[in-house]
A = this chain, B = another copy of it.
Amino acid sequence: MGSLTMAPKIRASIIGATGYTGIELLRLLLLHPNVEIAYLTSRQHPREKIGNLYPHLANYALEVTDTSPADVAKNSDVVFLALPHKTAQDIAAELHGKVKLIDLSADFRLDDAETYAAYYEEHKHPQLLKEFVYGLAEVVGRDTVAKAQSVANPGCFALVSQLLLHPFKGHIVQADIFAMTGSSGAGKTPVDGTHHPVRNHNVKSYNVNKHRHIPEIIRTGGIAASQLNFVPTSGPFSRGIFAQAFLTLDAAVAQPETVYANCPFIRIQKSVEVAGIVGSNFADLHFSVGTGGRVLAQGAIDNLVKGAGGSAIQNMNLMFNFDEGAGLAAIAPLYP
């Protein structure tokens, strides 16, 4: 029989709680031993019961409120922004410095206003771009994240791509990446690309060498856009990203196993598969050597967990000095 002193529970809120990203973050927070939910807000569904919007959560007595961002911040220890891109900018500007902030939109993932403008549009608060820490602990370092006041949570394609490049940083001559995403990455609004009759048995690339995650990939990858081919592709599954890179290096470099030795959510596997990570925060990686001096690197993540809500919680854990894996490490992938 054991006894222990529990860590204090922090109060977490989600602004923009009713999209796929917000709801998945909520699912994970509900399992976190050190968190209680303070506010869930949504402009689209003010004062609605979560269980009415998402029957899979019908047993929870959670309700959307129309609390202002300022009031949310006042009564929370951490605020997650799970808003569409652009929408997050003003709220982030308002809350930055007043509460620990984790932004899951793309609005603060780039530290350079010009690049942001080139891939998105003019940023409303360019001076803030350098205030946000890029929240990819395995690459920027845990300490960097731990000290952050505000964190920009990585994009899903960008995250897995960076994990493939990171062990070879400084030695990559050319990176040719093919990455395939499940349909949940497109969010909860139906569009042509997520129309079931076709998506259901289809594979199709889009935005080749133009995708908005490109500047994010090269931000930490140590390469220029001119050294990267990035082929985003839609796949016929709901969850997960499968990424394959052919990397041309200028020298032999350290083993990925060493680089990721202390990363609880990185698993170097004999081979990777989407079914091996669904529902979990793991990034499964595999590296081998091919012909022509190429390194073949493959990675799989759940786009909604490691690619969104799970990483956000991992960042929160670091910012509050919890164990990096608190509330996440015990969640095994759903297989089969």
Q: Across the interface, do B2 and A269 meet the contact criterion of CB distance under 8 Å?
A: no
Tell me the count of chain A residues lying within 8 A, CB to CB, of chain B.
98
Digitize A170-184: 1 where CB-to-B-CB distance is under 8 Å, 0 elsewhere.
000110101010111
Q: Across the interface, do A205 and B244 meet the contact criterion of CB distance under 8 Å?
A: yes
Q: Across the interface, do B56 and A277 meet the contact criterion of CB distance under 8 Å?
A: yes
CA distance in complex: A196, B184 (Å):
8
A208 proximal to B (CB < 8 A): yes
Contacts of A276 in B (CB 8 A): 55-56, 58
CA distance in complex: A334, B4 (Å):
31
Q: How far is the CB of A185 from chain B (nearest CB, A)?
A: 9
CA distance in complex: A201, B235 (Å):
10
Contacts of A275 in B (CB 8 A): 56, 198, 201-202, 204
A93 proximal to B (CB < 8 A): no
Extra pairs beyond A183-B196, A195-B195 (20, CB < 8 Å): A3-B6, A4-B6, A20-B197, A55-B269, A56-B333, A59-B329, A178-B244, A180-B203, A182-B197, A182-B201, A183-B197, A190-B195, A194-B197, A196-B200, A200-B238, A201-B240, A201-B278, A203-B237, A206-B271, A226-B292
18 A–B contacts, CB within 8 A, in A order: A1-B6, A20-B197, A20-B336, A27-B335, A30-B330, A55-B276, A56-B277, A174-B291, A197-B238, A197-B239, A200-B336, A201-B240, A202-B274, A203-B242, A204-B273, A208-B290, A229-B291, A246-B246
